[in-house]
Every structure is written in C-alpha cells, then in structure tokens.
Amino acid sequence: MRTAAICGLAAAIGAIFQTPVGGGIFAVEIMQRKSMGYRDLFPAILSSATAAFLSWILGLGTDYAFSVPHAFMEVRMIGWLVALSVLVGLMGGLYTRMYAFIRRLIRRERGRVLLKVVIGTLIASSIAWAINPALMGTSKSLLHAVFLGNDGLLFGRLPQRFSPGWMMIALFFIKALCNCITVVSGMSAGFTGPAVIMGSLLGAGFTTLIGIPRAGPTYYAFIAGALTAIVGFQVNRHFTLYDFALAGSGRKTDTSI
C-alpha cells in the first residue's frame, strides 16, 4: 500500500511537470521523509519516468516545459548553487510559518465558513490583480516571463524602478501570501503548482542578483536544479507545509505512511 501510494503520487507529478526523476524524489520526500530508502525511491522514479514518457508520446503536453540551451552550467558556480539550496529550504520554512499563521488567524472551521471563503478569495485575487495579474491562476505567463526574460510582464502594474532580480524575490512573497490566503479560506487550491512558481521565482531572482546572465545554461540550472530541491528539502524536512495542511490545525503531524 505504501509503494502504491508513493508511485501514484510520483506518476502524477512526473506527468504534470514532465520531471521523470524529480517527480519520484518529490513523492518519496513527502510521503516517507523520515525513512527514505532505495525500496521506495527506485519504484517512485520508475513510475514518474514512465508517466512522463507516456504523457509525452500521447501529446498531453504541460505548462511547465521550456526550451533551454543544451549545455552544462558553469562548474565554478556550484558554491552559489549550494547557497541557493539552503536559501530555498529557509524560504520554505518561512512559507510554512506564513500558512500556519494565516490558518490560526482565519480559523476556517469556525464561524461563517462561506463568508470566509468569499472574503479570502476576494483578498487574494485583489492583491494579485493590483500588483501583477499574471500571479493569478496557473501563472503560466509569469513562468514564461521568468524563463525568457520578459521584464515587462514580470513587473505587471508596477513601475520598473528596481532590478528584475528583486522583483522576482518580491513576487515570491506575494505569490506565497495569495496562495496561503486562498487555501486557508477554503477555496479549491493546492501547494505543488504554486510551489513550482515560487521556486522558479526564487531561483531566477537569486541568480539574477549575483550577476549570472539570464537565459544561459547556468541560469536555468539554478532555477530547476535537482540539488536545490534535495538540499532545500533537507534543510526544512522537519517543518513542512504538508504537516500543517493535513493536520487540520496549526500543529504538526506525522505524514509518514
């Protein structure tokens, strides 16, 4: 039962995001974070890779696929990549604490639930619309702006008075805030898609701020590096967002199967 559940999650992530290896690692990290082992990791990666391949040959497509240079990142930048990995973990912890705080503040299970849903949705959508409408929904156009260097779409309704790097860092926090408000208020939304957007914004923003040329192999490696995902998770593995989301309260719970 454990293996079936892990493989099911890995297949879904692999097909949606076209990540044959990352989908398997993600599934094991979430469902077996306290006892990760080969017996779980191998079938998870196999399931994720199979699902990604089948979705590709069936032409199902994905909103998260981009054309990138067929070249390896600059090896001398590996230290900065490790630094980004730690930063991702710390920011993930901040994202988790933001969710826990908003959950305690709204207390969706008590009082007028429908009213909280409406008000929460209006607040989140208004924040996103006022700053950058591309933050709403799947944020596909925002991802394209990050990957292709479209600063006009990146800044949205704001004047371009500061660097694109700082703008992407700011959008990370705004996307996190809107996502937390939406989920806590009761609207149908999740964490995986927004987390992909936020991770891309954080990686691209950090990379731009340290002077790495945009649209190059090192730039893309910093946005989607497997090392960043693995190290970032280890930094924050004992304080994950899913602990709070599944607990039904602001307290942590054991999500291992």
Q: Report yes or no on 214 lying in a domain.
A: yes
The more confidently predicted of residues 166 and 226 is: 166
Same domain (yes/no): 24, 143: no
Instruction: State whether 113 and 209 are in the same domain.
Output: yes
The b/e string for 134-162 (b: 16+ C-beta within 10 A; e otherwise) is: bbbeebebbbebbbeeeeeebbbeeeeee
**Spatial separation of the C-alpha atoms in residues 133 and 89, rounded to whole Å:** 27
Residues 184 and 229 in one domain: yes
Do 217 and 127 reside in the same domain of the chain? yes
The reply to whether 113 falls in a domain is yes
Q: Are residues 48 and 110 in the same domain?
A: no
What is the per-residue pLDDT for 189?
62
Whether residue 252 is contained in a domain is answered as no
* 42 lies in the same domain as 80: no
Average pLDDT score, the chain: 80
Length of the chain: 257
For residues 48 and 141, state if they share a domain: no
Q: Which uninterrupted H or E stretch holds 98?
A: helix 78-106
Q: Does residue 85 lie in a domain region? A: yes
Q: Is the pLDDT of residue 125 over 60?
A: yes
* 150, 233: one domain: yes
25 found inside a domain: yes
91 and 192 co-located in one domain: yes
Residue 143: left if φ>0, alpha if ψ -120 to 50, beta else—which one?
A: alpha
pLDDT band at 130 (very low <50, low <70, confident <90, very high): very high
Using one digit for the tens of pLDDT, what is the confidence trace for 45-57?
Answer: 999 999 989 988 8
Mean pLDDT, residues 124-142 taken together = 88
Contact between residue 241 and residue 96 where contact means Cβ atoms under 8 Å apart:
yes
Structural domain total, the chain: 2
List, for residues 54-91, the tens digit of each pLDDT value: 988 888 877 666 666 677 788 888 888 888 888 888 88
Residue 104 and residue 182 in one domain: yes
Percent residues over pLDDT 70 in the chain: 78
> In terms of domains, do 49 and 165 share one?
no
Range of the domain at 36: 2-57
* This prediction's pTM: 0.72
Asked, for residue 124, whether it belongs to a domain, the answer is yes
Residue 66 lies in a domain: no
Q: Are residues 122 and 39 in the same domain?
A: no
